């Protein structure tokens, strides 16, 4: 079993829809949770960074962390074709800076 599970998709939604992405994990030591967006042939770009459980909102993006269920989510509201990319969840313990990544979910937003 992988340490971080993420459905690779692909996920296709119409423009304007809400995109819902999630990851589950097994290591209870994880305390920091991130979502990165990666366009084809580019490096990952940090979207959201959260510590411990709770919600965080930034523009059209909302990240949720539920440590009791070992489950994190990213929601993209009013999705645009420019949101078409691969979304990677990543996480790490409090005492180690190495990240554990999900497999990445490929999202296509249809115009």
Partner 1 sequence: GAVVSQHPSRVICKSGTSVKIECRSLDFQATTMFWYRQFPKQSLMLMATSNEGSKATYEQGVEKDKFLINHASLTLSTLTVTSAHPEDSSFYICSARDPGGVQFFGPGTRLTVL
Q: Which residues bind partner 1 (CB under 8 A)?
A: 32, 34, 36, 41-46, 49, 88, 90, 97-99, 101-104
The least distance separating partner 1 from the CB of residue 31, rounded to whole angstroms, comes to 10
C-beta of 50 vs 79, nearer to partner 1: 50
As to burial, measured by CB atoms within 10 angstroms (0-12 exposed, 13-18 middle, 19+ buried), residue 34 is buried
C-beta of 11 vs 99, nearer to partner 1: 99
The least distance separating partner 1 from the CB of residue 76, rounded to whole angstroms, comes to 18
**Do 90 and 34 meet the contact criterion of CB atoms below 8 Å apart?**
yes
- DSSP for 21-55 reads EEEEE--TTEEEEEEEEE-TTS--EEEEEEESSEE
The Cα–Cα gap between 22 and 89 comes to 8
To which residue do tokens 């509201």 refer?
A: 77
C-beta of 2 vs 15, nearer to partner 1: 2
The least distance separating partner 1 from the CB of residue 16, rounded to whole angstroms, comes to 26
- Which of the 8 DSSP states describes residue 10? -
C-beta of 15 vs 45, nearer to partner 1: 45
The least distance separating partner 1 from the CB of residue 9, rounded to whole angstroms, comes to 11
């Amino acid at each position: 079993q992988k340490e971080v599970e993420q459905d690779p998709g692909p996920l296709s939604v119409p423009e304007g829809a809400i995109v819902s992405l999630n990851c589950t994990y097994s290591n209870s030591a994880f305390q920091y949770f991130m979502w990165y967006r990666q366009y084809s042939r580019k490096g990952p770009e940090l979207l959201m960074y959260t510590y411990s459980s709770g919600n965080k909102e930034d523009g059209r993006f909302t990240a949720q962390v539920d440590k009791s269920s070992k489950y994190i989510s990213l929601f993209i509201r009013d999705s645009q074709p420019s949101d078409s990319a691969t979304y990677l969840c990543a996480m790490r313990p409090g005492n180690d800076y190495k990240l554990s990544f999900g497999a990445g979910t490929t999202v296509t937003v249809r115009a």
